[in-house]
Structure 1
């Protein structure tokens, strides 16, 4: 192999930096943000680092340069540690007796303040839910909108706050709800709610978790105006709050003896500390039966997955769908589960 030309030397330097950053990011899920708040911000860019290293790998491979080995090794470490960023078409779309569907959706107040400049967004969300017909629906940033009727669900539990505009989290169910409650997070409108539902074969606990938002404006012009030091500090502070909130949630979760489903908007990625802690021994249903990037948030630079549905081993994961309907700054996801006796 010939020596590198000047341009390739520059690329090789950049490649080494990004490979080291990606390698460093693999330990982030094990570092509590309270101790490593600035470093934890790197977890937001893991998807971009993976894509960059894939491109470098392909570039050096096409040029028959041994430099391709660096990105290949780092990507392999990431794959065996966390799985693939992109899932190719899953074989799981199993129709079976006892299947039921769980949808999670941050509906952003049903577009109450016209963030999306279109009419009847709230009606489109309602129609989507009706068409997809989940048996359990977990909503974040829920608002009892006068134009939204979800009474086709037999049971519901909502936890709302706010003086003029009521908003919060809600769970709708076609299975009877026999118990419900909220895990309160101090100094925020975010929280985690839960319901215990009676299914044909067992009683199941369903959680709806909404962790603190980073409040990042995704428009390029706004990001350019943002002071980088202030931005990093704000995100680091948010990650500390998310860790505290996840600890409160886990204290509650660990007292539950029922089989469990955990839905929610974590405002953080699958490469984060809070994802690893909340997931625990549960199965990420996207990883079990999803395909593609599984994007759940409208971020313009690369696909971001910050909304999740977890289920414990008692549930067979027979399907997963990530939607493309742009009615919120989040996209809905739905899992098909089966609880065998």
Structure 2
């Protein structure tokens, strides 16, 4: 029994070290050391293992359980970025936005149109819209290419491309749009960071040790270069946020999970609206049987959020729509 507990202790310490390494994404860029960013992908599994082992020590009546519980407090915010419980806000919402990676409309353009029309959103953000001619009720269409688009009820003052896709090596895109709302100007940045371009067959293990090992190697070969591309894209977007003369909404498909380098640096000095106003799970990508949150809404701290919802009642894409409401002061 002593040997078994020693093995469990070593495993528990190992998981703690890996989780701590993930926190270094706030400081270490992928071009310097990309492996910390890799850890963020495994956070749900690592954290689940950490909690289960802590429970094991509790039932074993070991004092080390309280040490691991105390150390586990370091991961409170990382957990809340995946699962959160917010109290209902008293403020009345006067702005509603919807963000959706439309997957090129392959789940049905009419399904997307019916959903958006029924949402009564003030501003809609699409990623991977596929260049389709979306026409939504009471919304004006402003789009740049086949990757991101914005539809608004309000006056659009100007637009600018931040990242332009070349469709060969770079499939990322980002745009900024200045909108006048309630007599004030706001900047909306709609982004789609470089995708990893995985297919299910690439990541599904089949029990053959040699094939599975090769698949894992191939996955890492895709992840590391993409992390480094993300670093360059984050720098461009971060510059636009920092230099904005107006409060900023940062919205879109980051192709990155919480606690990643992308999350920390794009969300620096901003509010993650899910953490401010969301309840339940933040998982937004449902094509794999693994919890993945890659769709986000961030805002400047001066903007008051009221609610945040991942709408799992519909499957109009391989992403669930994200709905957020805000209380903007006149």
TM-score, normalised with respect to structure 1: 0.85
Match of 1:304 in 2: 292
1:201/1:340 contact within 8 Å kept: no
The residue that corresponds to 2:20 in the other structure is 23
How much does 1:321 deviate?
Answer: 0.7
| Partner of residue 335, structure 1 | 324
8 Å contact 1:217–1:223 — kept in the other structure? no
Alignment correspondent of 2:33: 36
Provide the aligned C-alpha RMSD in A: 2.3
- Distance apart, 1:128 and its partner CA: 2.0
Between the aligned partners of 2:290 and 2:67, the Cα distance in structure 1 is 23
Deviation for aligned residue 1:19: 1.8
State the match for 1:116 in structure 2: none
Equivalent position to 2:173, from 191, 197, 215: 191
Q: Which moved more, 1:238-247 or 1:251-260?
A: 251-260
Aligned residues of 2:159 and 2:175 also touching (Cα < 8 A): yes
Q: 1:121 to 1:283 in 2, by over 3 A?
A: same
Q: CA deviation at 1:241?
A: 0.1
CA contact (8 A) 1:155 1:176 kept: no
Shift of residue 231, structure 1, vs aligned partner: 2.0
Question: Superposed, which structure 2 residues align to 1:280-319 within 5 Å?
Answer: 280-298=268-286, 300-319=288-307
CA distance in 1, matches of 2:254, 2:217: 23
Partner SS state of residue 26, structure 1: helix
1:13 is the counterpart of 2:2: no
Contact 1:197-1:203 at 8 Å conserved across structures = yes
Count how many residue pairs are aligned between Structure 1 and Structure 2. 320
Q: CA deviation at 1:185?
A: 4.4
TM-score by length of 2: 0.88
Q: Note if contact 1:121-1:327 (Cα within 8 Å) is conserved in structure 2.
A: yes
1:175 and 2:151 equivalent?
Answer: no
User: Which stretches in structure 1 are left out of the alignment for 5+ residues?
Assistant: 112-119, 161-166
- Does residue 239 of structure 2 align to residue 251 of structure 1? yes
Does the CA-based 8 Å contact 1:155-1:177 persist in structure 2?
no
Deviates more, 1:240-249 or 1:15-24: 15-24
- Residue deviations 1:139-182 (CA, integer Å, cap 9, x gap): 11012446xx433143221111xxxxxx2110111111121121
Q: 1:135 aligns with which of 105, 108, 122?
A: 122
1:50 aligns with 2:35: no
Which secondary structure state, in structure 1, belongs to the residue aligned with residue 159 of structure 2?
strand
Confirm or deny that 1:122 pairs with 2:106: no
Gaps of 5+ in 2: none
